[in-house]
Structure 1
Amino acid sequence: MSLAGRSDVVCLIPTAFPGADPPPLTDAATTLGLHLLDIPLPLPPLTIGMAWHPRHAADGAHHWLRDAVRRTLRAPGGHKA
């Protein structure tokens, strides 16, 4: 977003689901002087996956990070983002 604020590039940032609080990136984008616009066409759902080496499967810190990513990306209402 910092680069987009100083140049003519386009930057995509996530928006909130209807009825949810705005994400923190919205304030940061506004502070950087970016103009937020809705994408003018329907987009298919985006699938996000994670992969890691098996040696990290039992690592507590790695497990915490994977769970934090899941919680962050999970849509309200229990649907996966």
Structure 2
Amino acid sequence: NIFDIYKEDLLKNPYTAEHARIAASHYGAQLFDLAKNGFDSIPDLVLSIDYQNGSLHDIGQKENYGVKKTIENKR
């Protein structure tokens, strides 16, 4: 059972052991649906990347941060 494996691994990890039961109850339904439907049921993420002026740009984004464009310059 995938849910039992998930919960056991949460309990073994010192960083998640304290909250394992909460995490298992929160994500359990999603994990069950994923196991039932299969990993192939989730569509792949599609990105359109362009290279221009020495930097990469995500074509689908409204704002891009390339050469000399940073978050600080936007403020």
TM-score, length-normalised on structure 1?
0.23
Of Structure 1 and Structure 2, which has the larger fraction of its residues in helix?
2
TM-score, length-normalised on structure 2?
0.24
Bigger Rg over Cα? 2
Of Structure 1 and Structure 2, which has the larger fraction of its residues in strand?
2
